[in-house]
């Protein structure tokens, strides 16, 4: 992934989401060590303070925990928490956008469901 500096989503949120995705994909597991802000800064070519902000959000949401002098680690149950949170927030917003656009284009409910099924098969 590359961070998108043009996006209206702040870079530190993009970083937080990327780490969440790593947890969802089991590339980061419970009690596993997470990248430091300096590693993230190098990986994404961004200011370390920005990367640090991304980590802080995850810390505040209890997705990560801190061990003094050792770094940050994945909290138990983090994956389930992220799934639930993203379903509530992100997926609902995306669904709203799809429904709105479908309405504008006179797409019927059945056609929309058919379209989603078609896309799912492609994934």
Nearer to another protein, 37 or 75 (CB): 37
As measured in angstroms, the least distance from the Cβ of 101 to another protein is 13
Alpha-carbon 40 to chain mean position = 15
CB closer to another protein out of 93 and 115 = 93
Helix (H, G, I), strand (E, B) or coil at 33: strand
Local structure of 69: helix, strand or coil: coil
To another protein, the closest distance from the beta carbon of 48 in angstroms equals: 6
Residues near another protein (CB under 8 A) are: 3, 5-6, 8, 10-12, 38, 41-42, 45-50, 53
**Residue 8 neighbours by CB under 8 Å, 6+ apart:** none
Least Å distance between CB 123 and another protein?
Answer: 29
Q: Which is nearer to another protein, 10 or 71 (CB)?
A: 10
């Amino acid at each position: 992934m590359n961070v998108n500096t043009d996006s209206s989503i702040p870079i530190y949120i993009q970083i937080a989401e990327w780490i969440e995705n790593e947890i969802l994909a089991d590339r980061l597991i419970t009690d596993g060590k997470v990248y430091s802000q300096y590693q993230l800064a190098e990986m994404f070519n961004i200011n370390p303070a920005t990367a640090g902000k991304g980590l802080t959000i995850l810390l505040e949401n209890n997705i990560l925990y801190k061990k003094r002098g050792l770094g940050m680690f994945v909290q138990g149950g983090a994956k389930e928490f992220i799934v639930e949170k993203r379903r509530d927030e992100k997926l609902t917003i995306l669904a709203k956008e799809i429904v709105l656009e479908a309405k504008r284009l006179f797409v019927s409910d059945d056609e929309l469901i058919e379209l989603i099924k078609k896309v799912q098969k492609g994934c």
